[in-house]
Structure 1
Amino acid sequence: MTRVASPEVDQDVFREKVKDVHSGYEDLKREIGKVVIGQHKVIDLMIISMFTSSHSLLMGVPGLAKTLLVHSLADSTSLSFTRVQFTPDMMPSDLIGTEILQEDRSTGQRAFRFVKGPLFTNMLLADEINRTTPKTQAALLQSMQERQVSAAGTTYQLDPPFLVFATQNPIEQEGTYPLPEAQLDRFLFRIDVDYPQHDEEIQMVMNTTSRAEATIEPVYTIDRLLAHQALVRRIPASETVVRYAVALVRATRPNGEGANKFAEENIRWGAGPRASQSLILAGKARALLQGRFAVEKEDIDALAEPILVHRIMPTFKAEAEGVTARNLIEKCREMTRV
């Protein structure tokens, strides 16, 4: 006779799994905090991105530890990590890999063998991604969306998890190539890395000039991370919360069904359906990491800016009046009612 687990037992198991995720989240923050002072919001968004198996774009001026942040997240896990410095002369094959002609010494026969490039990793740091040409940027599109790459007529699957964290300097435009909208939409978040607080900067200087660098210990295995990524999708989101997320995204669109006058006058183009999906998925991860069992409206509000800021563009008139994408998102939030 087969025994069927009761709903109460299933709920107990689920609660224990949620507790394990929250415990792992605290462990990750503790390990990253050994070398990164402050930047708590940035770290939270990066962890959410990792738990949703999504990619993120880090924006900030040089010297704000963007590379260190990504490296620290990789060190606190057992994920394979590769850093690629993007340059104007970089080719797609430098990222994906290339075929080489290899000779079998025993038979003398020659055959082509594919040598995998740095893209074949669990976590890729695409440093200064806007410094390389659109052709090389496009090489990332298939891998970011489909978790696979094509080379020499063969398709190669990327081992899960596959995460891209890209960095970009917002103030240096000479010799750069702006990311196309299609690629920006592949990033779950645009994470703005700001200057540290006064006390944090003092602590940072003291730590980096007076003692040896701390060592980060890995607290996540690949199997544990994959299990927790799957658990994210089991977190429920009520229809009310989903309706709110969709209404917020639709409020950013200057045309189409239900377009409002504010968007028509101030927004050149708005966010697509992927933004609605991202709000709910990231909201589930945020709730899970905080030890909660359901997505709340608060999660959507907290994640609206990093999810929408790179997906909407002000009109020329709005830009001339000093209106930013952040201002537009806040106004759309105020107008959204469910």
Structure 2
Amino acid sequence: MTDSSSPTPPPVVKPSGTPPVSPKSPEAANPPPPAAATGKPRNLADVLREFAEYQQKMRDELGKVIIGQSETIEQLLAAIFTRGHCLLEGVPGLAKTLMVSTLADILDVSFKRVQFTPDLMPSDITGTQVLEESESGRRSFRFVEGPIFTNILLADEINRTPPKTQAALLEAMQERQVSVGRETHTLPDPFFTIATQNPVEQEGTYPLPEAQLDRFMFNIKIDYPSADEEERILTATTRGESPTVNKVLSGRAILTCQKLVASIAAGPLVIRYASRLVRATRPSDASAPEYVRELVDWGAGPRAGQNLIAGAKAIAAMHGRFNVEPGDIHRVALPVLRHRIATNFQAQAEGMDTDAIVKRLLQDVEIPEPAKMANK
């Protein structure tokens, strides 16, 4: 958590809790310009440029530990800047946990990890009421907060715990609060849940229900590294050295970044394109292609469209642009839609998974044209 006594930093100003930099270091030679050093009011272009520079700095800090996975890092940052939650899928050994913990290291926020196991209870996550007795002999209950009261919660191997415990995260992910007994406790702000799961193992696991999957903004699938990346990984991890990362943003600065991203303009054409894309995933919709009617049981809901626009705004802001382009929708379409489409047995027989359907929709759903061009 950030220090409440420090002044509110702009989106790109380093927090006061950042460790001091050696005078001989590159950062000391080229320090970031203070927001109010020139005394001139900053326009949106300056703010976006600084925001783009600092998100690149976050990538550089992550790159000290994580080799490759540029798309995954981009999607994680986009989720953070839009108050979204992420579900990471990948076989063991692809640095899912390391990626999340390193992300927490470069942010000046609190971080807790919960290893989900079959015997984990909901109170182990949310907290519980403890009976206390005062010196006068009076007894009362006191709420002891669980690990969910943090800024970044890593729910490691979330599919290893029963649905009863998985459901303990539902209220926290949607309303950002926890109800225990008759009391409701507000979670810290910002709050992000980043869950991981191994898609290979099926025995002894509990698949997340569709209602909970829909709470995740992104479902990010982590693939194997390339040959060059794997050689770099082996070189870097077998030297016995532990790289250190610097903190880039405070919790309060993250909240300011979220407001900045929300102010990015999404024009009517982009809104219409996102709506067309989401509606095309529903087999009952008139605009759905024939292959969707044959291979899909149900498609994405309105929350998918909201996440498409929010994610596209983050991509645009991270590239220093004022408005959203259709290409930004394309960059986030797969992680937003892949876990919100349910395929049937025919799709499995034909080897068509949700990724293949989304990629085909991105090719088939036309981008709306401006009104003037459409009338010609």
CA RMSD of aligned residues (A): 1.3
Q: Which stretches in structure 1 are left out of the alignment for 5+ residues?
A: 1-9
Q: SS at the partner of 2:132?
A: strand
Deviation, structure 1 residue 167:
0.2
**Matched residue, 2:333:** 304
In structure 2, how many angstroms separate the alpha carbons of the residues matched to 1:290 and 1:85? 35
- 267, 280, 286: which one aligns with 2:296: 267
User: Are 1:318 and 2:353 matched, yes or no?
Assistant: no
Corresponding residue for residue 167 of structure 2: 138
TM-score by length of 1: 0.95
Q: Which amino acid aligns with 2:273?
A: Y
Q: What is the count of residue pairs matched by the alignment?
A: 328
In the alignment, the residues of structure 1 paired with residue 134 and residue 117 of structure 2 have an alpha-carbon distance, to the nearest angstrom, of 35
- Partners of 2:355 and 2:316 lie apart in 1 by 23
Tell me which residue corresponds to 1:104. 134
Does residue 209 in structure 1 map to residue 238 in structure 2?
yes
Cα distance in 2 for residues equivalent to 1:251 and 1:11: 45
TM-score computed with the length of structure 2 as normaliser: 0.85
Partner of 2:251: 222
Q: Distance in 2 between matches of 1:12 and 1:119?
A: 37
How many percent identity over aligned positions? Answer: 50
Following superposition of structure 1 onto structure 2, how do residues 50-69 of structure 1 map, counting pairs within 5 Å?
Answer: 50-69=80-99
Q: Which amino acid aligns with 1:166?
A: A
1-structure distance, mates of 2:274, 2:310: 11
Higher helix fraction (1 or 2): 1
Asked if 1:80 is matched to 2:92, the reply is no
1:183 counterpart = 2:212:
yes
Moved more, 126-135 or 195-204: 195-204
Q: Displacement, 1:257?
A: 4.8
1:276 counterpart residue number: 305
Q: Provide the secondary structure at the position in 1 that maps to 2:57.
A: helix
Letter in 1 for 2:251: I
User: Which amino acid is 1:116 matched to?
Assistant: E
Q: What amino acid is the match of 2:363?
A: E
* Aligned-partner Cα distance in 2 for 1:328–1:47: 26
Quote the Cα distance in structure 2 between the aligned partners of 1:11 and 1:254. 51
Aligned counterparts of 1:32 and 1:261: Cα–Cα separation in 2: 43
Distance in 2 separating the partners of 1:26 and 1:313: 36
Q: Does 1:35 align with 2:65?
A: yes
Q: Please list, as runs of the form range in 1=range in 2, the aligned pairs for 1:278-297 lying within 5 A after superposition.
A: 278-297=307-326
Which secondary structure state, in structure 2, belongs to the residue aligned with residue 322 of structure 1?
Answer: coil
Equivalent residue number for residue 25 of structure 1 = 55
Runs of 4+ residues deviating >4 angstroms:
none
Residue-by-residue CA offset, 1:145-178 (whole Å, 9 max, x unaligned)? 0000100110001111010000000001110000
